[in-house]
Amino acid sequence: MRLLKTWVYLLLVFALWAIIWAEAKILAEANGIRLGALPAFLIALPFLTWMMAIWKKRKAPTGDQVIAKLEAIASDTRLSDSVRQEAAGRLKELRAASSPAEI
């Protein structure tokens, strides 16, 4: 769901940028100014910055968060035995890892 939200935001930002670019081009050409690549980049810069800020907010979960999630799955009685056993096996592997970077 989060990934879908991010793509929707990116699509909306692109649509806004396209509208602003079209308006700027129409206004510039109406005044006899040929709008080149540099003004296009300058117009798009705030939107590109905003898109990158959204993208950077998405962070990978830490090792502790992964372990906590696997513990919750392994102890959830509503799930099937095979799912709980798989989570318990992966939990053992993660705990046996020598460094957090391997997680």
Per-residue pLDDT of 19-44, as tens digits, reads 877 787 787 778 887 766 666 667 66
Residues 7 and 51 in one domain: yes
Indicate whether 83 pLDDT > 60.
Answer: yes
CA dist 84 and 72 (Å) reads 9
pLDDT score for 3: 74
d(CA 1, CA 4): 5
Residues 47 and 26 in one domain: yes
Instruction: Count structural domains, the chain.
Output: 2
Distances (CA, A) of 70 to 1, 28, 58: 20, 57, 21
Q: What does the alpha-carbon distance between residue 31 and residue 38 come to, in Å, rounded to a whole number?
A: 18
Do 6 and 52 share a domain, yes or no?
yes
Domain region containing 67: 63-102
